[in-house]
Each structure stands twice: as C-alpha cells, then as structure tokens.
Amino acid sequence: MTTAILTALTAKARTAVHARSGEPCVCGDGVLADRADATVVRHGDLVAKAHAPDTEAGELAVRLGVAARLPGVLLAPLRAVADGLHGRLVTFWPHGTPVDREDPDAAPWEAAATLLARLHATPAAALPRPLPPMRGPAKAARAVERLRATGPHPAAPPVMRAWAGLPPWARAEAPAPGVGYLCHGDFHLGQLVRTAEGQWLLIDVDDLGGGDPAWDLARPAAWYACGLLAPEEWARFLDAYRRAGGPAVPGDGSDPWPALDVPARALTVQTAALAIAKSVTAGRPLDEVEQALVDACDRMTGVAARPTELAPDTTK
C-alpha cells in the first residue's frame, strides 16, 4: 500500500474520532493491516478500513446493512455508508480485541461456531434482497490466479490438479447449488474480536453473502483433514456448531464430510496456492505447514477429500 493511502486513512480515522468526541484527542495510531486488498488502521477506539480497489459500493452498502441488523453476531459499523479516499471505499468500526495467536489453547472455537450457526440461521425475511453472493469461491479463484502469475514452481502442479478436480461452483464459475444461506465467506479465527463487554463477534463483511454455509466451516475442516488442527479442537468446533442448530451439516451426529468435502478441498487449494505465491515473493522455500497443504492437494487428486485420505501418512 502506498504511503499516501496509509497517511490519508490515518488522518481520516483521527478526524472521525474527533468528530465523535467533539474535541481533539491524544489517542495513539496503529496499523492493523496493510495488504493489497485492505488497509486497516486504528485511532483510539475507532478502526478505519480502506477496502480493495475493486469493491463494489452497492454490494458493500448491503453488507454493512446486514452487519447493522445482526449486532449480536457481526460487529456493527459505526456508519451505514462508506466514505471515499483516493478511489477506495472506507468504513469505520469500533475497535475490538482479536484472538491471541500466541495462546492457541484459548482459541474460542465454541464461540466462533455458535456465531456461525446463528449467522447461517438468519431468517430470509431479515435479509435484504437482492443479497450479494458469498465471495468465498471468488477468493479461492483469485488465489489460484495469483499462483499462476508467479510462473512455474515445482509445488504448483498438484495444487492445480486439485483445483481442476473441483466442481465449477467451487471455482466461482457457476452459482452454488441448493438454497442460499447468509454466509461469512472468509471465516477463520482472525475474523473474531472481543468487545469491551466481553462478547465475541464476527468481523469483516467484504465476502458476506448468500451461499453454501459449509464454506464457513471449510477452513478448520481442511486444517483438521490435513493434520494441522488437533482432532479435539475440530470436535469442539463442530459439536458447538451442531448444538447451536447450524444448517451446514447434519445435526444428528452423522458424518459431516459429504457436506464439507468440496468446500474443504477448495480451501485447501486456496491456502496452498497463496502459500506458494507468498514463498516466491519472499524468495524462500515452503515451510513445513505450507508443504503439508501442498501434499494434501496431491493426495486429494482423484479421491474424496476425507480426513483419513488428506491427513499426513504417519506410517512411513
């Protein structure tokens, strides 16, 4: 991100805080994210986000409206409309405390699963029409395009084969089948914050929309299937989702994998593709976790992506 955008966004956050309080403050600034698809800064208790350049204003407005309607599930924006800044849309949010990455044992799997179940169960009457599609498959397709743009890489072929084996809807080439539910579209634990009142909420509505709710369970499912998420943590997450009545998987305790198969494959490919692209940019080899994702893509080619078939072979 250019220094001009970062500086202007920080100034905009300061102005918004001052406007709310009616007087200048001495709050500190902080950069929370600075990526090609988003820049996020904090000033005091306010967070300002400059969205990706290709963000469509009408769809973002709908997504902001949905967040405002579901205050117990999604972090509500401070404004219902976005500002403009150097051709970018900017939104304002209250600050929340993210999940502590240094304390994995304290990961709020149950809270996350319950929030997703409540999101997925949102009545259709409470949603605007038309509701934009959930952008999970589009993000996966963008990750694969980024991999292609890096040029030849020895780890790329199994990832591309796994991508080719997915159905068109999972590659953002066709609408998702079945009845659409309200979905987050890019769920991981980094999409949670704890409010000052101690409540966990989902954040980041850029990919929110109608689609297959199994996509929101697919990242932890994929990590579990690849052997990167402990079985007990996966069980905590899945059991809490079922207890909360989430519609993505059967609630009777039967095998969830028929519903999770395609989304878990797609998220494995997406994560592996980004891992390769980032390693090339950084000029370094794949680390152990990244290689495990590539190996999982290799194993899933031509087989159902079940946990026993994706998990690392420990017999060698």
Does the residue 280 lie in any domain?
A: yes
Q: What is the dihedral of CA 107, 227, 186, 262, to 10 degrees?
A: -140
Round to whole Å and give the CA distance between 167 and 172: 9
End residue of a domain, out of 65, 95, 125: 95
Does the residue 316 lie in any domain?
A: no
pLDDT tens-digit map of 113-125: 999 999 999 998 8
Q: 256 and 150 in one domain?
A: yes
Q: 88 and 109 in one domain?
A: no
130 vs 310, more confident: 130
255 vs 10, more confident: 255
Going by C-alpha positions, the residue among 23, 271, 6 that lies closest to residue 155 is: 271
pLDDT on residue 217: 98
pLDDT tens-digit map of 67-107: 999 999 999 999 877 788 888 999 999 999 999 988 988 89
Out of 5-9, 49-53, 184-188, 285-289, least confident range: 5-9
**Per-residue b or e along 226-248, where b marks 16 or more CB atoms closer than 10 Å to that residue's CB:** bbbbeeebbebbbebbbebebeb
Per-position DSSP letters for 139-164, written without gaps between them: HHHHHHHHHHHT---TTHHHHHHHHH
Contact 214, 241 (CB under 8 A): no
Report the CATH number that the domain containing residue 37 is assigned in CATH: 3.30.200.20
Report the CATH number that the domain containing residue 170 is assigned in CATH: 3.90.1200.10
Does the residue 144 lie in any domain?
A: yes
pLDDT tens-digit map of 39-78: 999 988 999 999 999 999 999 999 999 999 999 999 999 9
Does the residue 315 lie in any domain?
A: no
Local structure of 266: helix, strand or coil? helix
Q: 112 and 77 in one domain?
A: no
H or E, element range at 112: helix 109-120
- Name residue, tokens 């095998």: 255
Number of domains in the chain: 2
Range(s) of the domain holding residue 61 = 3-95
